[in-house]
Structure 1
Amino acid sequence: MELNLDFKEIATSSMVLFAVIDIIGSIPIIIGLRKKVGHIQSEKASLVAALIMIAFLFVGKEILTLIGIDVYSFAVAGSLIIFFLAIEMILGITLYKDDEPESASIVPIAFPLIAGAGTMTSLLSLRAEYHVENIIVAILVNIIFVYIVLKASKRIEKILGANGINIIRKVFGVILLAIAVKLFTANINALF
Structure 2
Amino acid sequence: MNFSISEIVPATMILFAVIDIIGSVPIIVSLRAKVGHIESEKASVVAAIIMVAFLFIGNKILKLIGIDVNSFAVAGSFILFFLALEMILGITLYKDDAPETASIVPLAFPLIAGAGTLTTLLSIRAEYHVENIIVAIIINIIFVYIILKSSKKIERVLGKSGLSVIRKIFGVILLAIAVKLFTTNISDLL
TM-score normalised by L of structure 2? 0.91
Instruction: Please list the CA deviations of residues 73-94 of structure 1 after superposition, one character each: whole Å capped at 9, or x if unmatched.
Output: 2112212221221111111112
Unaligned runs of 5+ in 2: none
Among candidates 56, 61, 64, match of residue 63 of structure 1: 61
Moved over 4 A (4+): none
The two structures, once aligned, show a CA RMSD in angstroms of: 1.7
Equivalent residue letter for 1:39: H
Aligned counterpart, 1:183? 181
Give yes or no for contact 1:82–1:122 (8 Å, CA) kept in 2: no
Partners in 1 of 2:111 and 2:15 — Cα distance?
Answer: 13
Q: CA deviation at 1:116?
A: 1.6
Q: CA deviation at 1:150?
A: 0.8
Q: In structure 2, do the counterparts of structure 1 residues 149 and 72 end up closer, same or farther at CA, with 3 Å as the change threshold? A: same
Unaligned runs of 5+ in 1: none
Instruction: Please list the CA deviations of residues 114-164 of structure 1 after superposition, one character each: whole Å capped at 9, or x if unmatched.
Output: 112222222222223332222211111110000000111111111111111
- Secondary structure of the corresponding residue to residue 179 of structure 1: helix
Partners in 2 of 1:37 and 1:90 — Cα distance?
Answer: 27
Among candidates 130, 133, 136, match of residue 131 of structure 2: 133
Among candidates 62, 78, 81, match of residue 80 of structure 1: 78
- Secondary structure of the corresponding residue to residue 93 of structure 1: coil
Partners in 1 of 2:13 and 2:149 — Cα distance?
Answer: 21
- Secondary structure of the corresponding residue to residue 21 of structure 2: coil
Q: CA deviation at 1:28?
A: 2.1
Instruction: Please list the CA deviations of residues 32-55 of structure 1 after superposition, one character each: whole Å capped at 9, or x if unmatched.
Output: 232333332211111111001111
Give yes or no for contact 1:64–1:71 (8 Å, CA) kept in 2: yes
Partners in 1 of 2:70 and 2:127 — Cα distance?
Answer: 9
Which region of structure 1 is more displaced relative to structure 2, 178-187 or 167-176? 178-187
TM-score normalised by L of structure 1? 0.90
Among candidates 42, 48, 61, match of residue 44 of structure 1: 42
Among candidates 112, 115, 118, match of residue 120 of structure 1: 118
Q: CA deviation at 1:106?
A: 2.7
Q: Number of aligned pairs?
A: 190
Aligned counterpart, 2:146? 148
Partners in 2 of 1:31 and 1:136 — Cα distance?
Answer: 28
Q: In structure 2, do the counterparts of structure 1 residues 176 and 156 end up closer, same or farther at CA, with 3 Å as the change threshold? A: same
Equivalent residue letter for 1:102: E
Q: How does 1:18-57 map to 2 (within 5 A)?
A: 18-57=16-55
Give yes or no for contact 1:33–1:104 (8 Å, CA) kept in 2: yes
Among candidates 73, 91, 94, match of residue 93 of structure 1: 91
Does residue 1:110 correspond to 2:112, yes or no? no
Equivalent residue letter for 1:160: L
Aligned counterpart, 1:173? 171
